[in-house]
Amino acid sequence: MSRRKGSSFSSASTAEQVTEGIDGTALTAIVTGATSGIGAETARVLAMRGVHVIMGVRNLVTAKDVKEEILEEYPSAKVDAMELDLSSMASVRKFASDFISSALPLNILINNAGIFGTPFMLSEDNIELQFATNHVGHFLLTNLLLDTMKKTTHESKREGRIVIVTSCAHRLSYRGGIRFDKINDESSYRKFCAYAQSKLANVLHANELARRFKEEEVDITVNSVHPGTIITNIDRYYVNPGLAAVLKKFISFAFKNAEQGASTTCYVALHPEVKGLSGEYFADNKMAKVGSRGRDIELAKKLWDFSMNLIK
């Protein structure tokens, strides 16, 4: 796919459709937040295509149910679950350490997990919870797994791919984009702006890591994706359950289902059309225009340094 030509898929395409005919049997992928919604569908479709899927999850009991459902549908699927709480740096470090100890390769990392619209709370590491979970946890996880991904890419002679799930809401962050000096400021906290800030951080993280890989000539691509508007349990803090039901019933045309919502992630993770594309933003299975803050190279570099200090 050239930068001028779009893909053959659309917003209505499902994850199964965009991966049809792709053989992923030689690949291993980590998918965070894989017990519900688009994360569970991403795990299912990757496993369907033969990828060995490691689900990074907070709830191992729920993950067991998801795994059993996948195996019931595809008995030869390779699916495992490992405990991962992205709001906790200790949990992220343990997950990464356990994965590295397994000596498994890592071709694909899908940073999918997220929370949305929580009341003001601090993580156990004293970082505002949405920023901690949606950005910092994934930033740390990615950093800890980079050597494994580089080793896999070198030994397999096959491009590695990192997919970071963001949102079009990245355009609606606080003024200035990232409030470096007010991440934990409860008095000016706005739960949607804080969510948007964390999603902008996802875009900037992807862009800066892609830039670094290009400089190092590392054969790993990094892209951010907007899955579309999907009401899943990520909305539990922000959308009243009754309202969610009404929205689904009366304006379902404006929303995607999980099968459609997972499609752009699966497309960017597996499809040969996106080979070599890095530092891009995708929506509806096509490259899309990112918000102006998301294109800010200096802001991305500043966020990188800020994030590195947080995870020390």
Check 189, 195, 267, 281 and give the catalytic one.
189
Look at strands 281-283 and 160-165 and give their pairing: unpaired
The full DSSP string for 154-194 is HHHTS-EEEEEE--GGGGG-STTS--TT-TT-STT--HHHH
The alpha carbons of the chain give a radius of gyration, in whole angstroms, of 18
Contacts of 90 (CB under 8 A, 6+ apart): 124
CB atoms within 10 A of CB 221: 24
Bridge partners for 53 per DSSP = 29, 79
Is 238 among the residues known to form the active site?
Answer: no
> Alpha helix locations (H) across the chain?
15-18, 37-48, 60-73, 89-101, 129-131, 137-156, 191-216, 241-250, 258-261, 263-270, 297-311
**Catalytic residue IDs:** 189
